[in-house]
Amino acid sequence: MKEQLQDLIIKSLSDLIAKGLLSELPSKIRLDHTKDKTHGDYATNIALVLAKKIKSDPKKLAQTIVDQLGESALVKKTEIAGPGFINFFLSDESSNAVINDIIDSGDSYGMSTIGLGKSVLLEFVSANPTGPLHVGHGRGAAYGATVSNLLRTVGFKVDNEYYVNDAGRQMNILIVSVYLRYLALSGEKLRFPDNGYQGKYIIDIAESVFEMHGDKWRKSSSLVYKDVCKDGQQGGDKESHIDELIVRTRQLLGEGYEAIFRVGIESILGGIKSDLAEFGVNFEKWFLEQSLIDDGLAKISVDKLKKSGHIYPKDGALWFNTTEYGDVKDRVVVRDNGIHTYFASDIAYHLEKFERGYDKIINIWGADHHGYIVRVKASIAALNHDPNKLEILLVQFANLYRGGKKLQMSTRSGSFVTLKELRNEVGNDAARFFYILRKSEQHMDFDLDLAKSKTNENPVFYIQYAHARICSVFRQAVDKGIEFESQTADLSLLTEDSERALLKELSRYKSVIESSALQYEPHQLAYYLRDLATHFHSYYNICPFLIDDKKLSQARLLLITATKQVFVNGLSILGVSAPESM
């Protein structure tokens, strides 16, 4: 409908250009759904925009444009209002057309071809596999999965990907943490390092190691701690303490070190995978950082940068001159000990992503990584790819509150609420919905007490309830022996204010999907569904559906059938279920 109206306006403007009354078409024509029904169904501000250019009275120009439009079956009437808006009132036939459109398209209503033929690589979550996902990761997971669904709905081919940081120092700290817990289980007395992973899950992993291997790798704790410097709380340095423990453990264990690593990563990554799957978040690919190292890609990428003259040695390390691309300082890619940095892996990873040939690459990062954007884009440019192909979406932290107090989240200290705990307490639907209800760049306060104790206040129930109510009406219809024939319904009978309002709200769905998808803003859809539910609940309270006037009843049933379909489609994009009864 909107497209047809837009075409009409363009035609009118083109005719005016042909007559020499205008010089050029505006770059884009805004045609908006009106907020206020007295402003009709759609409104455009083109007269205001154009009048500015050609310095004429916007109201007069609006009138000229309207005159040129002439008659159309689409439009009942047009009005010029305010400073020069053109308001369009759709004819009943054209506004009713949305109903049949929804019914005919069914589950695919809302899909479009905007992204047809374009592929997107969407990387998100990518939490370090050093512990279970906590509620902070949940936001990225829900946001990413929903953006992915939205992009797919508008026609993009999207691959979801999780980058697993299974290499580097943190993995070693994990292994040592597990090993020390294992020693304790074997009967050794020892002091757990300040900087180790404190969570209970480490003990669980140590238990599986013990079950699988017995005390095969038991060493006396005096041997393990021999020559290791003092820990932070003992007046030493906690970083050196853990690093020396790593070296020591590796020496003592030999191949056992790798075996413990296997048990640890499989346990943690397995947990993350099932956690996300249960949350309705699925990935096409789990990309291992270690594979970049095994394939030598990190080294190859650094060599490529070297060849193009972006690398220079200093203080025994190799530096990438990212300042040339606007970074505040150059960055080390290979340390003086010959080991490449995390950044080097990331350069390789992004290069690899680009070489896979996607049209668009999107990374969803926690906002604490924003300082990283410039250098990653620098590496892309330096390797002769287009940095604009890479879009980085930042998700702000969710601050957790319990008992009115802000909780500090730290994987290291083991003090965090896991995503799984949250899902168990508030349910997947509420969690998915709550997470995306806030704009991603908005800081979000997640009050656990509220989410847990007063779940009825969560707007997701309000929407689901609307859907369940519609289902209930149809169950009653069956009980009463009322047959519903969607083909015979006469939509012109829908004349009540509340049903016109609901119908108008339904007609917004497609543009909401489009806008949510292209702006990566799932919250727009969430808010839309809530508004739709409001219109429905209001309608429900005013107009009965199962009534003696058979024709009117059929028309109303058709309207709520379409409404139900939009709920189903919209909720499915959000990853929220549409229960038939509540």
Partner RNA sequence: GCGCCCAUAGCUCAGCUGGAUAGAGCAACGGCCUUCUAAGCCGUAGGUCAUACGUUCGAAUCGUAUUGGGCGCACCA
Within residues 52-111, the interface with RNA by CB under 7 A covers 52, 58, 81-83, 85, 87
Residues 207-236 contacting RNA, CB under 7 A: none
Q: What's the min distance (Å) between Cβ of 467 and RNA?
A: 9
Among 444, 484, 496, 500, binds RNA (CB under 7 A): 444
Interface with RNA (CB under 7 A), residue from 315, 386, 485, 548: 315
- With binding defined as CB under 7 A, does residue 468 bind RNA? yes
Q: What is the DSSP string of 546-568?
A: S-S-HHHHHHHHHHHHHHHHHHH
521 binds RNA (CB under 7 A): yes
Check residue 453 for interaction with RNA (CB under 7 A): no
* Least distance between RNA and beta carbon 342 (Å): 3
**Helix (H) or strand (E) run with residue 504 in it:** helix 497-506
Residue 351 or 532 having the CB closest to RNA = 532
Taking the complex as a whole, the smallest distance from the CB of residue 333 to RNA amounts, in Å, to 9
H/E segment holding residue 382: helix 373-382
Q: Which of residues 125-164 bind RNA (CB under 7 A)?
A: 128
Verify binding: residue 402, RNA, rule CB under 7 A: no
**Closest C-alpha to 395, from 103, 65, 144:** 144
**Shortest distance, position 184 Cβ to RNA, whole Å:** 25
Is the Cβ of residue 325 or residue 527 nearer to RNA in the bound state? 527
Q: Which of 21, 97, 332, 568 binds RNA (CB under 7 A)?
A: 332
Interaction of residue 459 with RNA, rule CB under 7 A? yes
Q: Which is nearer to RNA, 282 or 472 (CB)?
A: 472
Residue 519, sorted as left (phi over 0), alpha (psi -120 to 50) or beta, turns out to be alpha
Structural tokens at position 356: 């896979």
CA trace torsion 121, 122, 124, 128 (10° rounding): 0
**CA-CA distance, 310 to 375, in Å (whole number)?**
13
Residue 581 touches RNA, criterion: CB under 7 A:
yes
Q: What torsion, rounded to 10 degrees, do the Cα atoms 187, 189, 192, 197 define? A: 0
CA atoms within 13 A on the CB side of 494: 25
Taking CA 177 as the corner, what is the angle to CA 172 and CA 178, rounded to the nearest 5 degrees? Answer: 100
Range 530-569, binding RNA (CB under 7 A): 530, 534, 537-538, 540-546
Selected from 48, 260, 419, 494, the binder of RNA by CB under 7 A is 48
Q: Where in 367-396 is the site for RNA (CB under 7 A)?
A: 367-372, 394, 396
Mapped onto helix, strand or coil, the DSSP state of residue 77 is strand
- Does 442 interact with RNA (rule: CB under 7 A)? yes
Tokens of 53: 């250019």
From the list 401, 506, 292, 227, the residue with the least C-alpha distance to 409 is: 401
- Site for RNA contains 168 (CB under 7 A): yes
33 binds RNA (CB under 7 A): yes
Kindly tell me which of 184 and 493 has the beta carbon lying closer to RNA.
493
Which whole-number Å values give the CA distances from 394 to 182, 369, 374, 403, in the listed order?
38, 8, 13, 28
35 belongs to the binding site for RNA (CB under 7 A): yes
Q: Which is nearer to RNA, 217 or 257 (CB)?
A: 257
